[in-house]
Amino acid sequence: MNNGKKINDFDLPRRGLRWFWDVVDSTGLRPLLKTNYNHLDWGLLTAFTERWHPETGTFHLPIGEMTITLDDVSCLLHIPITGKMLNHLGTSCTVEEGEDMCYEYLNFSRTECRKEFKKMKGAHIGFFMLDKIYTENMKAVVRAEKKKMPDDKVQHLRECTIRSFLLYLLGATLFTNKSMQYVDVIFLTYLQDLSLVNTWNWGASGLAYMYNYLDAASRPGCGNLGGYNAMFHAWILSHFERFGSRYVDVNYNHNDPIAAKYYPFKGGKYPTEHRTTLDRMEVDEVTWRPYEDHRQTRPFEDISWYTGWIMCGTAMISPYLPERVLRQFGHVQSIPRHPDVSAKAGMTRFSIAEAFADYLVANYVTEEMRGPRAHNGFETVDGYIAWFYRVSHPKLWAPIDGNPKRPADYEVLLEEDIAAEKCDVFEICKTEHAEVREKLDGDLTFEEAKELLEKVYNDLTPVVTYSVQRRKKADSGEGKKRKRKKKRSGEEAGPSSN
Domain residue spans of the chain:
8-33+89-197, 35-86+200-422, 423-498
With the C-alpha atoms ordered 197, 200, 201, 206, is the resulting torsion angle positive or negative? negative
pLDDT band at 493 (very low <50, low <70, confident <90, very high): very low
Q: What percent of the chain shows pLDDT beyond 90?
A: 58
pLDDT for 280 beyond 60? yes
* pLDDT for the residue 133: 97
* pLDDT for the residue 61: 92
* pLDDT for the residue 490: 54
> Residue by residue, what is the 3-state secondary structure of 172-202?
HCCCCCCCCCEEEHHHHHHHCCHHHHHHECH
Count of residues in the chain: 498
Q: Is 418 helix (H, G, I), strand (E, B) or coil?
A: helix
Task: Please state, in angstroms and rounded to a whole number, the distance separating the CA atoms of residues 22 and 159.
Answer: 12
pLDDT band at 476 (very low <50, low <70, confident <90, very high): very low
pLDDT band at 19 (very low <50, low <70, confident <90, very high): very high
Task: Please state, in angstroms and rounded to a whole number, the distance separating the CA atoms of residues 476 and 76.
Answer: 53
* CB 324, CB 341: distance < 8 Å: no
DSSP H helical segments within 181-279, as ranges?
Answer: 202-217, 230-239, 272-279
Q: Which of 163-167, 387-391, 411-415 has the lowest mean pLDDT?
A: 411-415
* pLDDT for the residue 467: 44
Q: Which of 97-106, 348-357, 401-410 has the lowest mean pLDDT?
A: 401-410
Question: Tens of pLDDT along 185-226?
Answer: 999 999 999 999 999 999 999 999 999 999 988 887 665 555
Centroid of chain to Cα 116:
33
Task: Please state, in angstroms and rounded to a whole number, the distance separating the CA atoms of residues 131 and 9.
Answer: 11
Q: Which of 26-30, 96-100, 249-253, 387-391 has the lowest mean pLDDT?
A: 387-391
Residue 118, burial from CB neighbour count under 10 angstroms (0-12, 13-18, 19+)? exposed
pLDDT band at 227 (very low <50, low <70, confident <90, very high): low
pLDDT for 98 beyond 80? yes
* pLDDT for the residue 475: 43
Q: Is 288 helix (H, G, I), strand (E, B) or coil?
A: coil
* pLDDT for the residue 482: 52
Intra-chain end-to-end CA distance of the chain, in Å: 84
* pLDDT for the residue 420: 45
Q: Is 59 helix (H, G, I), strand (E, B) or coil?
A: strand
* pLDDT for the residue 466: 43
pLDDT band at 117 (very low <50, low <70, confident <90, very high): very high
pLDDT for 126 beyond 60? yes
Question: Tens of pLDDT along 304-357?
Answer: 999 999 999 999 999 999 999 999 999 999 999 999 999 999 899 999 999 999
